[in-house]
Structures are given as C-alpha cells and as structure tokens.
C-alpha cells in the first residue's frame, strides 16, 4: 500500500541524498504501474507520484520547491539544516 508516509519518506531520502534521482524516478514509475494507493489520499498520491516519475525529464526536473510542495500536499514540512564540513 502506498501511503502519504511512504511517499514523504521517499522524497526525504532523495533530499538527504540516500537515493538518487534515478532511484526515486524508478520507484515512482513502479508505484504507478504496480502500486495500490491509499484510497483516502489516492488523488494526491497519484498526482505526486506521477510527477516524481517524470522528474528525470529535463523539461520537468525536480527542484527543492517541488519537493517542499509535494511534502506539504502530503501533510509534511521540510526544513534544512546547514552543518560545517
């Protein structure tokens, strides 16, 4: 079952650089083909996941603002932490 939490976790993993753009795109493509979306949030989930699935196309890309908007639509907020190297 694909839930708001699952999608938010995937976006967070991308932002934290634990998965690549290609990995989040592949996940989203598979989710659209095979996934069972939580009925209560199906419209939002399919919209966000379908957009993630085309993020590797230059015309679409995936910006910080996109991710922040997606997370907000899923009921989450994103914060940035800057640390010294």
pLDDT at res. 65? 95
pTM score of the predicted model: 0.92
Average pLDDT over residues 10-18: 97
Backbone angles phi, psi at 2, to 5 degrees: -95, 120
A 10 A CB-CB count for 46 gives 15
**Mean pLDDT across the chain, nearest whole number?**
95
Q: Residue 54: which of 29, 74, 33, 73 has the closest Cα? A: 29
Domain boundaries, the chain: 4-73
pLDDT tops 90 at residue 26: yes
Per-residue model confidence as pLDDT tens digits over 39-74 = 999 999 999 999 999 999 988 899 999 999 999 999
pLDDT at res. 58? 86
Query: How many CA atoms within 13 Å lie on the side-chain side of 28?
Result: 26
pLDDT at res. 3? 96
């Amino acid at each position: 079952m694909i839930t708001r939490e699952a999608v938010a976790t995937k976006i967070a993993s991308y932002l934290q650089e634990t998965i690549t753009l290609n990995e989040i795109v592949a996940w989203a493509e598979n989710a659209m083909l095979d996934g069972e979306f939580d009925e209560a949030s199906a419209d939002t989930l399919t919209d966000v996941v379908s957009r993630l699935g085309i993020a590797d196309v230059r015309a679409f890309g995936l910006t910080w603002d996109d991710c922040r908007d997606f997370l907000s639509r899923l009921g989450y907020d994103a914060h940035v932490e800057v640390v010294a190297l």
